[in-house]
Structure 1
Amino acid sequence: MVERHVGRNMVDLRTLLTLCAQAVAADDRRSANELIKQIRQHSSPMGDGMRRIAHYFIDGLEARLAGSGTQIYTALITKPTSAADVLKAHHLFLAACPFKKLSNFFSNKTIMNLAEDAARLHIIDFGILYGFQWPCLIRRLSSRPGGPPKLRITGIDLPQPGFRPAERVEETGRRLANYAETFKVPFEFHAIAQKWDTIQIEDLGIDRDEVLVVNCMYRLRNLLDETVIVESPRIKVLNLIRKMNPDVFILGIVNGAYSAPFFITRFREALFHFSTLFDMLETNVPREIPERMLIEREIFGWEAMNVIACEGAERIERPETYKQWQMRNTRAGLRQLPLNKEIMKIAKERVDTGYHKDFVIDEDNRWLLQGWKGRIVYALSTWVPAP
């Protein structure tokens, strides 16, 4: 009996959210407010996966209705979460699902294979954030036969609001420098905190004697596309990457279709996408763990708020599917490399032996796909400039 009731609740919340989105889109305030009230009674950041997602989605709808999406979203992203808290959430995410671990493995193994006997290695990381990916690579390089190469990392991220726009990237650089020192890897860090489409090739200090790697994990989705600006930042950044002529460009994308200009379509796709992630956490992580709430609030909650409540240049969550990226990259003069068989094999083994059976690892058109219960959430690939 209970089971049926829960099932009905789930269907109801999903339907109610969609109805509410339609009311908000039509500016039917009375219906929207009624539905918001109803959904609020059934949603909670501490409930099951569906109640949690309803909690964040209804925040977004309410902000959109009030026309205050941008202010709320800006307030959210400027409120500082300590790096320590983010690291805790990051560790939980690493333990709960293979997605981040596999991306790091995919990227680091690609770099290790390429830089096997390089004397100097330069990594340009778009969207470095806290640089959690690199300690593992630094450790690997330190035990390379014949000693480590001279490692340079150029960490690029968006400027933070306030007086010290580059503070977070510089802080990341200091942490990595300390780490490199511990492992005796010669290290240099260069921080760039500015809009990515304003970066010039001269800013990157490229030296042709170095093995050059461009890395971008899941952050190209934050660049505006042609629906906002004809000369889109996406095209500019891909052109810049081609011009750098890297030995490899490693790309990880969020496989989402929720950047449609039409709000209802976008809302439905976002509900689909985030339900997958919340369901994955619900299945793999106990409800009461604070780090789970941190991930849901600080990562997925923010993203959902941005997708639902913001428009135009303010809406920076604009993922595309891996097939769209494939076309986009090819048009920008990049050529996709075949997937490395060994990387694919290890990835499959790790997921089959260490994780829940509903995690999906697959391959399509030279992309390594990662998903949950048949929905592809992330995709990874490697590229070089086309001749």
Structure 2
Amino acid sequence: MPATLEELLGLIEPAPPSPSVFLDHPSMTHGDSELPQDDQTLANISRILMEEDIVDKFLYQYSDHLKLQQAEQPFAQILSGAATTSSNAQESSAPDTLALTVLPSKGNNMDDKVCRFFSREVQDPTFYLNGSCVVEPNNMVFPGEGSTSMDMLSSLAFLKGMEEANMFLPTDNAVVDGRGRKNKFSMSGEMEADLGRRSKQIVVLVHTDTDEEAIALEKLDRLILNGYDKYLNNMQEVVRVTLDKENKAAQLSIYRRGRRGIRQLAVTDLETLLIHCAEAVASNDRRGARELLHRIKWHSSPAGDARQRLAHYFSQGLEGRLAGTGSQLYGALMGKRISVVELIKGYHLYMAACCSLKVSLLFSNKTIYTSVAGRRKLHIVHYGINTGFQWPELLRWLADREGGPPEVRITGINNPQPGLHPAEQIEEAGRRLSNCARQFGVPFKFRAIASKPEAVRAEDLQIDPDEVLVVNSVFFFRILMDESVTFDKVSPRDMVLQTIRKMKPAVFIQSVVNGAYSAAFFMTRFREALYYFTALFDVMETTIPRHNEKRLLVERDILARSAMNMIACEGADRVERPQNYREWQSRNQRAGLRQLPLDPDIVLMLKDIVMNEYHKHFTVNEDHRWLLHGWKGKVLCAHATWAADDASGSELA
């Protein structure tokens, strides 16, 4: 006996199989079967599915059922007007009949959607279900387009599944995108308009980001034109007020709790743990190193106090060295591009908190201003130019000079950046400086050279004898390779110094990082770096509030990069190779350079600035014609002026 409609839809259990269902196969009863009942059912289903003409047999069996045809007739008349005429009406009647046969009962919202689907009321190539799902035409089969009844059954099953899945979706029919926003869909014709509006909104957002960057750059230009001093003074005042509030809040909290209420926390000696971990890494004791790294990470944090922040970044370097991925770690840090605006903001905060950079820039600019007195042309060769924010202040001074400004030419030299535009950053600095010079009324020319410094020759710089030639380097020579890498060749440091001597500049201004963490042995290097960066992080802890966002940028993108490169990398991948100022003094003299005496007026000016504007623990001293700048007795950097030994003379000699 043929199965009923309810059996087909799975609403009731089907009757036992009979010969009329399995057609050509012999009947099997439960009594004479050698297999269990479940196995018989699976075997029968397998035989049915293996038959290639099962669809035709299925349609042949049920298309002649009188009661089924009578039930189909009213629905066929309703859909006959909307259905597309076919060249062969007899072939298309079976799919339409089957579609009507398996329609759900009325009262369900799905009925209308399925009716519209099979009656081809949905002519759009994309079919939307309940505003929450998009059914692509490649995934659905429309009637009358060469589809079979089994295809339609699959499509209908898909639609029923989507109806059930919609029950678990949010009631507002919203989808959260990558930005955390909700995108709503509608079933009406407003769908395309809504999509269009959101597309326009995305474009607006992109333009908004670009506009914000342009506004920030415009503010940066105005800052350059108006001068840094006022901005730095305001920032220093904000830092002082914030630090005072934090200190008062901490003291008030301790006073309220009382001495007995203070929790006694065990202080972890992170410095000792770092040294022991470095020793384990150096001896390839992986198990011991991992255990120590776990302890260090537990007690460190990039948002904690100075020693916790230092331990956080040093542990990352040790972990990269232990895993052998130090080069990839440093490459990822360097590959993270920082916008010029964010970099300038970070430098401004660093200059407001730590006087090292401001002392070096003032020392350089005042020396150049003195050397060009009474001359009409100035040529500055800047090794390690980045954003060029050092020079607007000098251009302003020269514009206000008695007798008018000189003609200024700057040649910026820096290592090429990876990518298609190796000189992009240098050229951007040149455009900004050209704009500043035009605003100040200073004749100005700029040339960008993206090359390794040791590859630049004196002949490449187009030196004019009528110009006052000044060579400037602010903390850049620390990343030049030394003899430990090129032991069979001339050191790149010596090559650059010999090129400077051949230029015969009026003055060579050199600012160096006074660090001894370039030794060949790892543990010696690690201890020196730990000692040096402890002082730097202590400066940040003492002078900048702990919750300042720009402080995190300075520590992560300026200080931590150098430390992690020194710890995690070896060979040519280790670019951080500073030396102390006495070692640079010997190297410069061997290269044929003669050290010039310090200008006493410049030294006095810098001492007054550090004493009056910065923390009392900063110091400025002199030693062997070097201007030393330090923190709590630790010399952080040193500055000196040089000239070629065979030079005919120097304005500062």
TM-score normalised by L of structure 1: 0.98
Alignment pair present for 1:113 and 2:370: yes
CA distance in 2, matches of 1:228, 1:350: 40
User: Which digits, 9 at most, give the CA deviation of each residue in 1:95-131, with x for residues without a partner?
Assistant: 1021111111100000011101110000000001111
Q: Could you say which residue in structure 2 is the equivalent of 1:24?
A: 281
Q: Aligned pair 1:197/2:448, yes or no? A: no
Does structure 1 residue 215 correspond to structure 2 residue 472?
yes
Identity, % of aligned positions: 54
- Tell me which residue corresponds to 1:101: 358
- For 1:331, the equivalent position in structure 2 comes to 590
The 1:118–1:3 alpha-carbon spacing in structure 2 relative to 1, beyond 3 Å, is farther
Task: Identify unmatched segments of 5+ residues in structure 2.
Answer: 1-258, 647-653
- SS in structure 1 of the partner of residue 348 of structure 2: helix
Deviation of the 1:67 alpha carbon: 0.3
- Partner AA of 2:437 in structure 1: A
Tell me the equivalent position of 2:610.
351
Q: Secondary structure at the match of 1:151?
A: strand
Q: Which amino acid aligns with 2:384?
A: G
1:246 to 481, 505, 517: 505
Instruction: Please give the secondary structure, in 1, of the residue aligned with 2:278.
Output: helix
Work out whether 1:34 is the aligned partner of 2:291: yes
* 2:486 aligned with 1:229: yes
Cross-structure match for 2:444: 187
Give the Cα separation in 2 of the matches to 1:105 and 1:305. Answer: 29
Aligned to 2:636, what secondary structure does the other structure show? strand
Tell me the residue number matched to 1:316. 575
What residue is the counterpart of 1:373 in the other structure? 632
Structure-2 change in CA distance of 1:39 and 1:210 (3 Å) = same
Secondary structure of 2:416's counterpart equals: coil
How much does 1:295 deviate?
Answer: 0.6
Alignment of 1:65-104 (within 5 A): 65-104=322-361
The match for 1:297 is 556
Structure of greater relative contact order (alpha carbons < 8 Å, 6+ residues apart) = 1
SS of the residue 2:538 aligns to:
helix
DSSP 3-state at the match of 1:238:
helix
Partner AA of 1:65 in structure 2: L
**What is the alpha-carbon distance in structure 2 between the residues aligned to residue 180 and residue 3 of structure 1?**
59
Q: Distance between the aligned counterparts of 1:68 and 1:242, measured in 2? A: 39
Of the three residues 32, 40, 47, the one matched with 2:304 is 47
Structure 1 residue matching 2:271: 3-state secondary structure: helix
SS in 1 for 2:419: coil
- CA distance, structure 1, for counterparts of residue 263 and residue 511 of structure 2: 38
**Cα deviation digits, residues 219-252 of structure 1 (max 9, x gap):** 1010000111131100000000000000000000
In the other structure, the counterpart of 1:164 is: 421
Looking at secondary structure, tell me which structure has more strand per residue.
1
Q: What amino acid is aligned across from residue 280 of structure 1 in structure 2?
A: V
Q: 1:5: how far off?
A: 4.4
How far apart, in 2, do the equivalents of 1:386 and 1:13 lie? 48
Distance 2:597 2:639 in 1: 11
Matched, 1:255 2:514: yes
Letter in 1 for 2:486: I
Asked if residue 131 in structure 1 is aligned to residue 131 in structure 2, the reply is: no
Alpha-carbon distance in 1 for matches of 2:438, 2:486 = 43
Q: Which amino acid aligns with 1:17?
A: L
Letter in 2 for 1:351: V
Measured after TM superposition, the shift of residue 15 of structure 1 is 0.2
**Secondary structure of 1:37's partner?**
helix
**Aligned residue in 1 for 2:432:** 175
Q: Which 4+ stretches in 1 moved above 2 angstroms? A: 1-6
1:306 aligned partner: 565
Quote the Cα distance in structure 1 between the aligned partners of 2:575 and 2:331: 12
Shift of residue 201 of structure 1? 1.5
Task: Give the length in aligned residue pairs.
Answer: 384
Paired with 2:263 and 2:348, the residues of 1 have a C-alpha distance of 33
Structure 1 or 2, whichever has the larger Rg, is 2
Structure 1: distance between partners of 2:494 and 2:557: 29
Give distance in 2, aligned partners of 1:129 and 1:308.
25
- The one-letter amino acid of 1:289's match is N
CA RMSD of aligned residues (A): 1.1
**SS state at 1:17 partner:** helix
2:326 & 2:343 partners in 1: Cα distance?
Answer: 24
Q: Which amino acid aligns with 2:303?
A: M
Amino acid at match of 1:167: E
- In the alignment, the residues of structure 2 paired with residue 53 and residue 4 of structure 1 have an alpha-carbon distance, to the nearest angstrom, of 23
2:418 alignment partner AA: P
Q: Tell me which amino acid in the other structure corresponds to 1:29.
A: R
The whole-number CA distance in structure 1 between the counterparts of 2:332 and 2:459 is 34
Deviation at 1:187?
0.4
Q: State the shift of 1:354 in Å.
A: 1.1
Query: 2:398, 2:609 → 1: CA distance?
Result: 22
Instruction: Write the distance in 2 (CA, Å) between the matches of 1:205 and 1:294.
Output: 39
Q: Which amino acid aligns with 1:332?
A: A
Partner of 1:252: helix, strand, or coil?
A: strand
